[in-house]
Chains A and B, each alone.
Chain A
Amino acid sequence: MRVLLVDDNPMNVELFVDSLAADGHEVAVERDGLAGRERGLREPFDVLILDIQLPGLDGYAICRDLRAAGVNAPILALSSAAMSDQISKGVAAGFDVYLTKPISPSALRDAVRTAGRPA
């Protein structure tokens, strides 16, 4: 699958790209919010993974804009906060899956595998 990863932490990016590539996914990376939103609007992806805290534009805003523009691919949130109000904020913004840090490579691989599979 084609996956877009928007994350500004270089260590996470490297680990997540390797993890997803190990499952045969093709991963595009953007490191700030604005670039991530542009990429998500411009190109079709099967799954999008957005960090919540990003320079430029946060993950909630990107997700809302993508949904408003008609992007209906599954979108996963990577967040350091697992409080229920944040999760409901994420659901309201249009996220399908909410993963909380630290995220193990296997959890990310499972989430992408599950999200990318049509019911």
Chain B
Amino acid sequence: MSAAPLFPAHVPTVLVVDDVEANRELLDARLHDLGYDVRQARDGIEALEAFEDAEPDLVLLDVDMPRLDGITVCRRIKAHPLRRLVPVVLLTAHQDRDTRLRGLAAGADDFLSKPFDPAELRVRTEVLLRDRELNKQLDAAEGIVMALARVVEARDRYTVHHAERVGLYAREIGRVHGVLTADLDVLYKGGVMHDLGKAVIPADILLKRGALSDVERALMECHPTEALRIIEPLRSMARFAPIIRHHHERVDGTGYPDHLPGDEIPLAARIVGIADGWDAMTSDRPYRSALEMDEALHRLRAGSGSQWDAQLVDTFIALLDGGLAQRVQGEQLHVTERMLA
């Protein structure tokens, strides 16, 4: 019996962009022979329009074109939050170092020099398409964990949108603190999934109105390490592990689970710790109502240097003075509307 595939095989689509018809036809024929679906665009504008129709899996992009040149098209694709994951290969004249440098600055993934060597075309497209497939899978893993984090949040009616706000606060603190732009996304997503481990905490403890017993508290304090067990098999989640494990550490070393002091707590976890603390204080909880802004600020200052990193608290207070809390709640409304739409 021959093996029956469960799903039809995915045929990658390659977008060929060149203003010279002969070049397009040549590449089209070769790529078609390699088993890819090929689409063509005659200039930069058509290329961007082709992206609007359907996202290709790979773009081969000529540099000198009328209307919109290849470097600009590349820069536009790489500036887009989702489209930047589509690999872009610039077609350059051999030894054209200047164009290559501009291409690198614009975010090009690779280069092919004209005239094309068929073998090189084959290997380079294969490698980039394989990388793209891996990236898609990593993205998928991340998407699942984010979804799970929101399910966990939904178990507890008191913390609706808490995770989302923690992510937004953490990203802003990171931005002002000078965290690399590429890492701001880690702060946002890490903030959203920081309480993932509460998935395993029984509802009667999670929603208890009164004080927790010692046993209940010990159980509750397992949530960072429980979350790590959930994400451990997912390689792409490793960058969130410091946030998830250490967001309940305190700079005076009395936090959990590892009692790390001061700078030994990873920066990302110190940032999320403040974001989490603030949002917990300013929203309703099973055991108390939300604090007034003034009272929450007072407690934030009181905990500076013992519970939280003093320098980061200062940064955060400056952000709050600039209206951050109102902006985050505004963005939140926007998110809710989008989810309901």
A interface list, Cβ under 8 A from B: 14-15, 18-19, 22, 102-107, 113, 117, 119
Assess the B131–A107 pair: CB atoms within 8 A: yes
A113 to B181, CA, bound (A): 13
A15 to B110, CA, bound (A): 10
Assess the A18–B110 pair: CB atoms within 8 A: no
Assess the A104–B127 pair: CB atoms within 8 A: yes
What secondary structure prevails in chain B residues at the interface with A? Answer: helix
Question: How many interface residues does B have (CB within 8 Å)?
Answer: 24
B interface list, Cβ under 8 A from A: 87, 97, 100-101, 104-105, 107-111, 120, 123-124, 127-128, 131, 182-183, 238-239, 241-242, 266
A14 to B95, CA, bound (A): 10
B101 contact set on A, CB distance < 8 A = 18, 22
A19 to B100, CA, bound (A): 9
B97 contact set on A, CB distance < 8 A = 14, 18
Assess the A104–B104 pair: CB atoms within 8 A: no
Assess the B87–A106 pair: CB atoms within 8 A: yes
A19 to B107, CA, bound (A): 10
Question: Nearest Cβ distance between residue A65 and chain B, in whole angstroms?
Answer: 29
Assess the A113–B182 pair: CB atoms within 8 A: yes
Interface centre among B110, B123, B239, B266 (most CB of A within 10 A): B110
Q: Sorted from nearest, which 10 A-B pairs have the closest CB atoms?
A: A106-B109, A104-B110, A22-B104, A104-B109, A102-B123, A22-B105, A19-B104, A102-B127, A102-B124, A18-B101
A15 to B238, CA, bound (A): 30
